């Protein structure tokens, strides 16, 4: 394991050095890019390592917290995600970053490049065969039933980002001993004029989760162009397609074998200086659990 970790470290450093020569912002790259490289050459890499929580505080009840919640709710509502400020809690990180999230959502942390601590939230599916949502379109028909959805926002000096998720469960899947879920997670980053270079959304399986098998995910490859409308799709048993917008470069990674549940999509444009514009990363993932299982994910998101 020491040798494997050493090689991962060297790969990460090599990747960082290479991008530093090209862009000057390599130190901001996510740790999972190095893990993706390691996986591609056949190295068994460990799951994400979790760090102590960053110095942060809940400022929901303060005047600045109320102002942040109101602004986040307005931004989300205007972007098609109706949100009430009263439903949000506000966290201020040590670096001044402000994050808003639904009240009652647990927070978690992960390790970013060079030991940087990255904060996120915990998404848990209910462990029940009966879930709230829409009624089956016809008796016995298979359909995806939404059981959870919501949005998060992050505000920094150079702009802000919202990230929204939806969690659905397959009803009438035809299996006696298994359940099927999928989660969508997308983000939209808005520059305030100072420019931005990357934005990502990421899921990892929480250590308290029911064992799960990652059976379908998308996107699963890199693409590059300017901006265009596309669809990302899962198709195991029951197809679901989701329209999103892709710009410049998407770096996508999933590890269904060694780290089921670990997946991310990152928009990267290292030579870009995007002024007053938006960019979006997006992902979708289908998992299988035992009957009445409760998959739990950690959701991470960030931009620079």
Domain housing 31: 1-46
Examine residue 219 and say whether the peptide bond preceding it is cis (omega within 30 degrees of 0): yes
> Is residue 237 located within the same domain as residue 138?
yes
The structure's pTM equals 0.74
> Is residue 4 located within the same domain as residue 106?
no
Token pair recorded at residue 16: 């960082």
Model confidence at 34, pLDDT cuts 50, 70, 90, reads very low
> Is residue 157 located within the same domain as residue 179?
yes
| Interacting residues of 122 by C-beta distance below 8 A, sequence separation 6+ | 105, 106, 107, 108, 206, 296, 297, 298, 299
DSSP assignment of 237-289 = SS-EEEEEEEEEEEEEEE-TTTSTT-EEEEEE-TT----S-EE--EEEEEEEE
DSSP assignment of 37-68 = HHHHTT--PPPPPP-PPPSEEE-TTSHHHHHH
> Is residue 34 located within the same domain as residue 90?
no
> Is residue 114 located within the same domain as residue 225?
yes
Give pLDDT tens digits for 188-200: 999 887 778 888 9
> Is residue 175 located within the same domain as residue 36?
no
Return the pLDDT at 127: 66
Domains identified in the chain, total number: 2
Backbone angles phi, psi at 46, to 5 degrees: -70, 165
> Is residue 11 located within the same domain as residue 93?
no
> Is residue 79 located within the same domain as residue 26?
no
Return the pLDDT at 84: 96
SS3 label, residue 164: strand
> Is residue 14 located within the same domain as residue 133?
no
């Amino acid at each position: 394991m020491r040798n494997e970790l050493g090689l991962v470290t060297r790969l990460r450093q090599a990747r960082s050095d290479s991008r530093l020569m090209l862009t000057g912002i390599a130190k901001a790259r996510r740790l999972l890019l190095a893990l993706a490289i390691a996986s591609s050459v056949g190295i068994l890499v460990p799951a994400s390592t979790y760090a102590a929580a960053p110095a942060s505080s809940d400022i929901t009840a303060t005047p600045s917290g109320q102002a942040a919640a109101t602004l986040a709710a307005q931004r989300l509502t205007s972007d098609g995600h109706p949100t009430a400020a009263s439903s949000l809690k506000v966290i201020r990180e040590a670096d001044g970053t402000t994050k808003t999230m639904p009240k009652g959502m647990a927070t978690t942390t992960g390790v970013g490049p060079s030991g940087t601590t990255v904060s996120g939230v915990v998404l848990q599916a209910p462990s029940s065969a009966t879930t709230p949502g829409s009624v089956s379109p016809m008796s016995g028909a298979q359909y995806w039933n939404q059981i959870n959805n919501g949005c998060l926002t992050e505000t920094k000096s150079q702009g802000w980002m919202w990230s929204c998720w939806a969690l659905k469960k397959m009803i009438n899947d035809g299996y006696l001993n298994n359940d099927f879920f999928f989660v969508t997670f997308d983000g939209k980053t808005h520059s305030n004029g100072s420019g931005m270079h990357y934005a990502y959304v990421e899921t990892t399986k929480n250590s308290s989760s029911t064992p799960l098998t990652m059976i379908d995910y998308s996107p699963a490859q890199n693409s590059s162009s300017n901006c265009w409308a596309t669809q990302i799709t899962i198709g195991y048993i029951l197809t679901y397609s989701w329209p999103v917008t892709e710009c410049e470069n998407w770096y996508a990674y999933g590890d269904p074998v060694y780290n089921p549940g670990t997946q991310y999509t990152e928009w990267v444009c290292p030579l870009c200086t995007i002024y007053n514009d938006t960019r979006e990363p997006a992902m979708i993932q289908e998992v299988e659990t035992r009957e009445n299982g409760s998959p739990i994910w950690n959701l991470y998101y960030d931009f620079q």
